[in-house]
Structure 1
Amino acid sequence: MFRPGLKISHLRLILAVEEHRQVSAAAHALNMSQPAASRMLGEIEAIFRTPLCERVARGVELTAYGKALARRARSIFLELREAAREINELKTGSGGSVSLGSVTGPALNLAVPAIRQVSTAYPGIEISVQIENSNVLTRELLAGRHDFVLGRIPEDANPEHFAMTEIGEEHIALIVRDGHPLLDRAPVSVDDLPGYDWVFQPRGTLLRRAVEDRFLAAGVPLPVTVINTSSIVLTIAIVRNTSAIAAVARDVATLIAGHGADSGDIRVLPIDFPLRIKPYSLITAQGRALTPSARLLYDLIFKQATA
């Protein structure tokens, strides 16, 4: 039974506090004042007669009771979203919709072929794809904006929120412009790399950490000048026009080195050391069932990965 007095707005606030870990930031995200958010938190705690959050050094954290409520709130909103989606599909007679998030490598070698098969067999289906790093994608998954994700669970995320099936490994390649000085010395070692500018994914992403770990393991200083971006388009533009080095998924490097707008502008830099990221997985939100259209795409990607 729904707790008397408990409102949808209460559940939204609990989820916002869990995400932002500050009442002020949660209030801003919900377009309300901080005093109003604080009063609402008091209302929720009065309804349950127990503290739902506590002050910590950098803001607030949910108590065990608050986390339990947040988990249930997330399920409620996801079910409401799926109900609206199903009703809309029934009303319009469409073939359904799927939202997929993927890191770049698996998007090229698994998602694209699967999407082609689904679109050919079911022309009415609508498929949305977001290409990003795993940190962003898993947050979007939990927020209900993706049906499933091709990527990895970040180390700072709670694994209890996810269900995953490991399906493949991803290797890293380094790309440079045609005519880069290091191409004359290939294959290069880690010692040859720190003197150049680098284009990296944002700090904390798994691809970047794999490269940094290789530097540290070799006792080599980390690059001093770093440009941070998750955009592969901007990465390519910087590499083409400077002597910067960029680390990208090997499938991406192969594609852009062989099929760039100006063929031959980008080269894969031969290296004498391995670079790989931990295996990637098909990831869903724990306890959330896939819609028939999402299940169809999920199964095709899994079949291709395990063939």
Structure 2
Amino acid sequence: MLNDREKSGDGYFPVRWQGYQPEKEGDFLLKAGLKLSHLRLILAIADSGQVSAAAEALNMSQPAASRMLNEVEKLLKAPLCQRAARGVEMTHFGEAMAKRARTILLEIREASREITELKTGYGGSVNMGSVTGPAISLAVPAIHRVRGMYPAIQISCHVEASNVLARELLSARYDFVIGRLPDEFNPRDFEARPLGFETSCLIVRAGHPLFKLRSPGLEDLRLYEWVFQPQGALLRRSIERMFIDANVPLPENVVSTPSVLMTMAMVVNSDAIAPIAREVAEFIAGTAGRAGEIAVLETGLEFALEPYSLITARGRGLPPSARLLHDLILEENGRSQPRAV
């Protein structure tokens, strides 16, 4: 039980607690008056690491957030956070409650979505993410089919790197994603349906000097400016590994950007080289206007990438609208696979 509290610039923090006496009944939190507002505050503090930032996210004053934190700690009879070098860090009690709060609030949100969809008949929403290649080859045609069947469905599709997709999926910001499982995440937190391999290529502007060479090699390529994805991106690592394995120095003139649009602009307006998903390169090269001035540079070099999958969070069900798009993506993938003769 809280005995004293010490005030700091970010709120109030427990200093000393007396022995905790376990409750006899498992539902003591509900009987004690635990509210959804308490859960929202706990989760906001866990996500932001600051009481002040949590208060701002919940549109309340910091003193009000500190009072609510004090209130919920008294209900739980346990400290939820403690002062850290920058803001606060969650105690074991706080981490446990934040994990449960995320699940409870997610289930309430999904219940609201499902009720809306049942009332309107597939009038709900879908939030998905994808790496670049399958966003073009699988997500786009599946979204067109959904829109043709149920125009009222609201669909958001975000194109990101796999590590961002996995993090946002676990945070319940996406219903499902198309990507790869990064090494830094526990694979037990996901369910994955393998889809295929993302093919990549190098793009340059039409009329690039390298087209004068019959078969440009790494020694030729490294002399030009490169536009890469940010450090650690899978495709960038694959290209860099290719240079290292061939004992060829890495390109020195490098610009990094996660933006496909920025990449295209750099390539069209210079002699830069950029690795990109082949589906995207072929789509843009076939369009009119300046974007269509890019060309695929065939070198014969192998860009080995890991296969991508359709990924959901383990133990989290999909609402009907998300399930529909999820299954149509699987259908589109089946159509695109070569048939055995």
Band of TM-score, shorter chain? 0.7 to 0.9
Gaps of 5+ in 1: none
Is structure 2 residue 102 aligned with structure 1 residue 102?
no
Give, in angstroms, the shift of residue 43 of structure 1.
5.7
Give, in angstroms, the shift of residue 6 of structure 1.
3.7
Q: 1:188 aligns with which of 216, 220, 231?
A: 216
Gaps of 5+ in 2: 1-26, 336-341
- Counterpart residue number, 2:183: 155
Give, in angstroms, the shift of residue 38 of structure 1.
6.9
- Counterpart residue number, 1:200: 228
Give, in angstroms, the shift of residue 44 of structure 1.
5.1
- Contact kept in structure 1, 2:194 and 2:307, CA below 8 Å: yes
Correspondence list, 1:123-272, <5 A: 123-262=151-290, 265-272=293-300
SS of residue in 2 equivalent to 1:123: coil
% identity of equivalent residues: 57
- Counterpart residue number, 2:322: 294
Q: 2:109 aligns with which of 77, 81, 92?
A: 81
The structure showing larger relative contact order (alpha-carbon pairs under 8 Å, at least 6 residues apart) is 1
- Contact kept in structure 2, 1:170 and 1:276, CA below 8 Å: no
CA distance in 1, matches of 2:47, 2:219: 41
- Contact kept in structure 2, 1:175 and 1:268, CA below 8 Å: yes
Q: Which has the larger radius of gyration?
A: 2
Q: Deviations along 1:76-102, whole A, 9 cap, x unmatched?
A: 121121122233334555533222211
Q: Cα gap change, 1:287/1:28 in structure 2, threshold over 3 Å: closer, same or farther?
A: same
CA distance in 2, matches of 1:188, 1:27: 57
Q: Deviations along 1:107-160, whole A, 9 cap, x unmatched?
A: 111112222222223333332222222233333323333221111233323434
TM-score, scaled to structure 1:
0.83
- Contact kept in structure 1, 2:193 and 2:310, CA below 8 Å: yes
- After the TM superposition, which of the residue ranges 33-42 and 124-133 deviates more from structure 2? 33-42
Give, in angstroms, the shift of residue 46 of structure 1.
5.2
Is structure 2 residue 310 aligned with structure 1 residue 275?
no
- Contact kept in structure 2, 1:105 and 1:250, CA below 8 Å: yes
Amino acid at match of 1:12: R
SS of residue in 2 equivalent to 1:238: helix
The alignment covers a number of residue pairs equal to: 307
